[in-house]
Amino acid sequence: VFARDEARPAENRSPAPGKAGAPAAEAHRPVESAVSPAAVVPRPEQSARRPPVQELPVFAALDLGTNNCRLLVAVPTRHGQFRVIDAFSRIVRLGEGLTANGRLGQPAMDRAVEALKICGDKLRNRKIRKARLIATEACRTAENGVEFIDRVEREAGLKLEIIDRQTEARLAVSGCGSLVERDTQG
């Protein structure tokens, strides 16, 4: 459903575990607009149906999974399609050790909270019309999953929703809708 804005393909990629990344100050730097100031002022030749880019509603989706934390921030382009204007992805390995004792481990929770703080900063720096912030399997099955979600709200300022398996599957399928041709059978 989201189409990538390829103007800055590597801007928000996380470093691989164990490799040096950008300084923390750069991770919190607001994303610069790809729109020139002249594009913000409506011109007579601009369609009245489509407002300037900075007036478009902004939507966000955050998915905290067993291994990754992903954020997409997007604006609509046409019916059912979006253009990603900001993104973040980090391997957090939240589920590390979960099968051994049924609980989220402290180092895993710390990694996830740090990633979610970056996501929270990105969301607070934009006027988001609507956001869906979800947590999946690791938080759903861990004995301390709800406690962790409470910690995320306190420390990162984000209220995550733990979704069930059916909702997770439905969201995954709906996210692929734009990739399927309308006349596909089966």
On whether residue 74 sits in a domain, the answer given is yes
On whether residue 85 sits in a domain, the answer given is yes
* Range(s) of the domain holding residue 100: 2-9+50-175
Q: Tokens 């734009």 map to which residue? A: 178
Weakest-pLDDT range from 14-23, 68-77, 134-143: 14-23
Task: Mark out the alpha helices in 23-176 (DSSP H runs).
Answer: 24-27, 37-40, 98-101, 106-124, 137-141, 145-156, 165-175
CATH number at 73 reads 3.30.420.40
Give the chain's mean pLDDT: 78
On whether residue 23 sits in a domain, the answer given is no
On whether residue 104 sits in a domain, the answer given is yes
On whether residue 40 sits in a domain, the answer given is no
- Using the predicted structure, report yes or no on whether residue 71 has a pLDDT greater than 90: yes
Predicted TM-score of the model (pTM): 0.66
Residue 60 and residue 88 in contact, taking contact as beta carbons nearer than 8 Å: no
- How many other β-carbons are positioned within 10 Å of the β-carbon of residue 43? 8
On whether residue 112 sits in a domain, the answer given is yes
On whether residue 92 sits in a domain, the answer given is yes
On whether residue 42 sits in a domain, the answer given is no
